Amino acid sequence: MATRALLGAIKKRAVSFPAFPGHSGYRHGSTLVVAEHEGGFIKPPSLSALAAATCLPDPYSSVSVLLAGSGPSLHQAASHAASCHPSISKVLVADSDKFKNPLAEPWAKLVHLLQQSSGYSHIIAAANSFGKNVMPRAAALLDVSPITDVTGISDSNTFVSDLSSNCLSLKNLEQMSLHVANICWKCTLNHRYTGANPCILTIRSTSFPVPQKSVDSKSNEASISQVDLSTFDEDLDKSRYISQTSQDDERPDLGNARIVVTGGQALKSCENFKLIEDLAKKLVAAVGATRAAVDAGYVPNDLQVGQTGKIVAPELYMAFGVSGAIQHLAGMRDSKVIVAVNNDADAPIFQVADYGLFEVIPELLEKLPEKK
């Protein structure tokens, strides 16, 4: 009864962030998109952050893109950013070896420096590992409260997020009834921001799709400006970059794949999980896993799908041996078609799946043709 009342209250109210003394709402302002780049191009999650910035309804607001790092790829990415969307008015380039690695300390100080000089009304980044690392620290330096995992923008001050992303603080969530879990999965929260500038957002990239036909015209190019780093002073003793490892294979990237094949703990062993990998290879799909499967050591944690892993929204999502915990649903709920394969007919995943099947992996592997 208490849980039902709590969820009912959350469902009906908007969450407000109190104003600070001396601030009385927004002026017509500008938006800064903190972007990542790789190989001379803006990464897809950052393009989604840019799409979110264009959803802000203020017609007088301008959009600037911040890129940082060093080397030729940085300037290639700046050229790409300048022509990738007509809404971009300026590309800011911070060229320094201090930003070649995604450490939170220098990046957050860079955002703080730009805010002090330019006074943005909104600062936006993707809610991926980069954005979740940098933006909370930047918000702390600016003494504002960030709004995270935004899935919709109602107006310049009101933002939508899933209730599921806020339920993680409820310690007894996994012991709640299926009915309550479904409420958490379906409900949203409206966050009404009334605090000081800037309003800092991390957006769920799957909720802000990038148009397939991007603008790439020289006539629409934004200006490119170098960030003055003469006053930038960052103490890097708090953390240091060691190395980065990635899976070197031919599979599509999990975050951007058209098809994702995910396995859960019910597969019971690394050997059985190899069936998932074999099926993904035949489908030219990415491989995903639940947190339980990752914790069991079946696959590395960079394949985890869910609230604390990667957020995906493929055209086809196939879940094998996945029970359907709310944390996992939060990471794949925007998939176009969901196919659940589980020998437990009462598994919660079936309540959100478009199609439900039982043990079919061996038969699929036998009948699917080899990838050409």
Is 202 annotated in a binding site? The answer is: no
Report whether 212 belongs to an annotated binding site.
no
291 is in an annotated binding site: yes
Determine whether the annotation assigns residue 308 to a binding site.
yes
Q: Kindly list the distances between the CA atom of residue 131 and the CA atoms of 90, 100, 103, 147, 225, in Å, as whole numbers in the listed order.
A: 21, 15, 11, 12, 23
Q: Is position 73 annotated in a ligand binding site?
A: no
175 is in an annotated binding site: no
Please tell me whether 240 is known to bind a ligand. no
Is 116 flagged in the annotation as binding? no
Query: Would you say 327 is a known binding-site residue?
Result: yes
Using CB atoms within 10 Å of the CB of residue 172, give its burial: 0 to 12 exposed, 13 to 18 middle, 19+ buried: exposed
Q: Is 306 annotated as a binding residue?
A: yes
195 labelled ligand-binding: no
State both tokens at 77. 């990415």
User: Residue 331 annotated as binding?
Assistant: no
Reported for 159-162, long-range contacts at CB under 8 A and 24+ positions apart, including other chains, are 159/190, 159/191, 159/193, 159/201, 160/188, 160/189, 160/190, 160/191, 161/188, 161/189, 161/191, 161/204, 162/187, 162/188, 162/189, 162/330, 162/333
CA atoms of 278 and 128, how far apart (whole Å): 28
What ranges make up the beta strands (E) of the chain?
A: 14-17, 30-34, 37-38, 41-42, 62-69, 88-95, 122-126, 147-153, 158-162, 188-193, 199-203, 223-226, 259-263, 286-289, 316-320, 337-341, 355-357
Task: Tell whether 127 is in a known binding site.
Answer: no
CA distance 357 to 319: 10
9 is in an annotated binding site: no
290 marked as binding residue = yes
Per the annotation, binding residues are 290-291, 304-308, 321-328, 342
Summarize the annotated binding site for FAD as residue ranges.
290-291, 304-308, 321-328, 342
